Amino acid sequence: MFANTAGYESMTGRWSARLAPLFLRFAQIGNAGRVLDVGCGTGSPVRILAAASPQVEIVGIDPAEDFIDYARAQFGDSRITFERADALDLPYPPASFDHVLSLLVLMFIPEPAKAAMEMRRVTCPGGTVAACTWASQRRNTVFWEEAAALDPLFEARSERPRDLNRFGQLTALWHATGLQHVEEEALEISMDFSSFDDYWQPYLAGVGPNGLYVSGLSPDRRERLRNAIRTRLLGDGPDHPFSLEAKALAVRGIVLHVQ
């Protein structure tokens, strides 16, 4: 779903880069320690954290080898390493990191409770475990509403995440994981698009649930969806720049003791 690095950067990476500063501020990592980024993708949170905290050592993991290769090529800082690993089976002993983060990943993991337990397991006592998921994106809302209006098999074809997108769900998961001093907060951002193609072209790379859905459509059905979304966003007038808003949910908790 996320193996195409160029497609990921234009589709999801730009949103991650916009959201990461707000998430990292909420996570309250501090200026030192060892941090694990679970599902690092192409490295947006890593880049921002490294710049803001020059004494932090960062390990980024992702199951996609292409992402790890891409991220390694982008960073020359000895404090930063990238490794291929599964969030459901982190290859680290207990209490290996001072803080563990996950940005826009948990909603795609088939067993988020197991991933949360793994994140807690590898965090030192007193350390923070923080995650962030989408609550709503007008980009996705418009896309899926228009897809549903045109496609009677929409639900069977779509692979969009449907969990951890309502306020309180992340808090409940963090409490169930045994984390303490849990706090949850909504983070709001907007994304600027220079034209409709700036919005639409990333879907053609087949990245993420939207891209996978588009890649499975016939050329005619794809064009119908494109036209319906364009009309929804721009009306019948000429192409022009526009912005779309999005809201994410962020949660953080503290590990008080090693399990």
Which pLDDT does position 45 carry in this prediction?
87
Q: How far apart are CA 26 and CA 24, in angstroms?
A: 5
Kindly state whether residue 215 falls inside one of the protein's structural domains.
Answer: no
Angle between helices 138-150 and 219-234 (to 10 degrees): 130
Kindly state whether residue 212 falls inside one of the protein's structural domains.
Answer: no
Are the C-beta atoms of residues 94 and 116 closer than 8 Å to each other? no
Kindly state whether residue 143 falls inside one of the protein's structural domains.
Answer: no
pLDDT tens, residue by residue, 23-62: 999 999 888 799 999 999 888 889 999 998 888 999 999 9
Return the CATH number at 49. Answer: 3.40.50.150
pTM here is 0.90
Q: Which two three-digit tokens encode residue 21? A: 């500063």
Kindly state whether residue 167 falls inside one of the protein's structural domains.
Answer: yes
**Count of all residues that appear for the chain in the document:** 259
Kindly state whether residue 82 falls inside one of the protein's structural domains.
Answer: yes
Q: Which two three-digit tokens encode residue 156? A: 């069977």
Q: What percent of the chain has pLDDT over 70?
A: 93
Residue 84, pLDDT > 70, answer yes
Kindly state whether residue 49 falls inside one of the protein's structural domains.
Answer: yes
Question: Considering its fold, how many domains does the chain have in total?
Answer: 1
- What is the span of the domain harbouring residue 99? 5-137+161-193+244-254
* pLDDT range class, residue 76, cuts 50, 70, 90: confident
Q: How far apart are CA 251 and CA 6, in angstroms?
A: 29
Kindly state whether residue 201 falls inside one of the protein's structural domains.
Answer: no
Q: How far apart are CA 117 and CA 238, in angstroms?
A: 50
Kindly state whether residue 124 falls inside one of the protein's structural domains.
Answer: yes
Q: Which two three-digit tokens encode residue 218? A: 């016939």
